[in-house]
Structure 1
């Protein structure tokens, strides 16, 4: 046994000599304070690798952040609208601004501006109405509303507050009682304080019993009102146009109407798509009990504010052609 052990030790020694010559002999670390660190070993510095910055083109880098949209139908009436940017006019007074899309009001006294609102005379004949209740104006064939101003007011629009006393920040004055210029037949027997000049917006007054749209003050701030002609905006323009007035703002207002509820208008198409998506092929007649699912009362009220209401013919054409 001693010879075997002696031979084993010699083999181990010989093997170590060979490993040492090859430079691969393992040397156990020397314990320092109970650890397995090598004596006098240098610490190796670890450098965190640098992560290259993400690259993007100048076009992407300069693009605005993507907007988020809420598809809840109550938000359709308040979807962001493109606001006219305000530019300070050269050599203007501090309170004078130029709003894109609307002609700048020349410097004149408020009395002259007010006079322009009422000094006009009718120059066009009344519109005709076809079997689908669509109005046709001889001089504006692309403007085809199917609600008259009188119908809109009697059925309920703008929360009953459209003709309330209005303070115009642009003009620095209050406008009131201008609904008196409307034909007496339009308002005869109507509760004016409830349907026209209520100081507060009441959704229950509206035909579809919902709130819809923005205030006149917001329209003014957005640059959608041409004060030289209609200080209250779209509906006041429509009333006067219906009564036969023609002015330089007609093209702009009719263009706005077409984009909203014209044949390819945004609101009209969205509402008709709602009917199709819900599988509804018949428009409820006025006065009938509406059973089943409502088709977006907010969209209906918005279209009503633009003198348009879905007719059976419109819905059938949309089902058949998608437009």
Structure 2
């Protein structure tokens, strides 16, 4: 070691000794350690961001929202959210309906009696529909309205959780509507357990053909303005079976327009269901009554299947073939 290196080593040794005497070497070391770790405030913020809430408040879970028709979405939500969806799908119990405040109707008592009389005093003005080989019904005066499920088939196969004709409190009319299904032909419901399939006060998904809950309650339809009380207090299906029997009224075009938007040739739910078939690679649909094909169909979006049934539509082979070929 030459003279220069010797002096440099001695100088470094003296400086280190001086730092030790002053305690500066230890402080610098501690500061370096603190710099390598995030501050307590930063660690706290990071912990909050990464934490996953373990509970969902009942208020948030019960917040009204649009119904979920896609069963794939149902699988993504937790049990709390799933229960919330089920509550929204289930109609309000009769006890709540009958205890609802009366006198809130914007109609006079006389006007309400006139409305109720119109529900049962109508007479058929059109002939019953004919049915083609592809199962579609054809009405002489509305050629573009071609459902392929009859009202009787909808009821017998299981729909609306068995509650469509339950006692129903109408906030618009301020009365409880009940026993308004007596104009249904007796042959349509012969042998059917009406308390289970028509007038149950509890929504039962097991009653439905596809065993799932779907859709909104009649109360929600009324709140949305979709009910024309002058003609039908319960909306679409009640209008449909009366139209099927030959009644004609000023609500016909509106209801048929709604049907087209749901399950007509370009209807939303019809297209969603057919796309599901294509996505799952299924090319055949069982003919009515074939149990093997029926079970296969149940695997394709049962929620949308049930929704389409409520709108008097069921996928047929010709429709599926056309969709596979042209996407329409």
Q: TM-score, normalised by structure 2?
A: 0.67
Maintained 8 Å contact 1:74/1:298: no
- Residue aligned with 2:248, SS: coil
Tell me, in whole angstroms, the C-alpha distance in 1 between the residues paired with 2:69 and 2:239: 31
Residue in 2 aligned with 1:288? 291
Larger-gyration structure (1/2): 1
Q: Are 2:162 and 2:198, in contact at CA under 8 Å, matched by a contact in 1? A: yes
Which blocks of at least 5 consecutive residues in structure 1 are unaligned? 1-67, 79-93, 98-104
Aligned residues: 237
Choose from 143, 146, 149 the match for 1:144: 146
Q: Which of residues 296, 315, 319 is equivalent to 1:314?
A: 319
What CA distance in whole angstroms lies between the structure 2 residues aligned with 1:210 and 1:71? 10
Residues 160-309 of structure 1: pairs in structure 2 closer than 5 A? 160-285=162-287, 286-289=289-292, 290-291=295-296, 294-309=299-314
Mapped to 2, the partners of 1:225 and 1:171 lie a distance apart of 11
Supply the distance in 1 between the matched residues of 2:196 and 2:67 (Cα, whole angstroms): 35
Q: Secondary structure at the match of 1:118?
A: helix
Q: 1:113 deviation in Å?
A: 1.1
TM-score (norm 1): 0.68
Uncovered stretches (5+) of structure 2, i.e. residues with no partner: 1-65, 75-84, 86-102
**Counterparts in 2 of 1:292 and 1:175: CA distance versus 1, 3 Å:** closer
Alpha-carbon spacing, 1:71–1:206, altered in 2? closer, same or farther (3 Å):
closer
**How far apart, in 2, do the equivalents of 1:229 and 1:266 lie?**
26
Shift of 1:179: 1.2
Aligned residue for 2:181, secondary structure, equals helix
Task: Indicate the RMSD between aligned Cα atoms, in angstroms.
Answer: 2.8
Q: Residue 284 and residue 186 in structure 1: after superposition, are their counterparts in 2 closer, same or farther (change >3 A)? A: same
- Aligned to 1:179, the other structure's residue is in SS state coil
Distance 1:199 1:107, change over 3 A: closer
Q: Which 4+ stretches in 1 moved above 4 angstroms?
A: 68-72, 94-97, 105-108
What's the offset of the Cα at 1:260? 0.2
How big is the shift at 1:109?
A: 2.6
For 2:193 and 2:208, the matched residues in 1 are separated by 14
After superposition, what is the alpha-carbon deviation per residue over 1:186-214, rounded to whole angstroms, capped at 9, x for unaligned? Answer: 11111000110011111110111111101
Per the TM alignment, residue 110 of structure 1 is displaced from its structure 2 partner at its CA by 1.4
Distance 1:264 1:107 in 2: 43
Residues 76-155 of structure 1: matches in 2 within 5 Å?
Answer: 108-155=110-157
What is the deviation of 1:108? Answer: 5.0
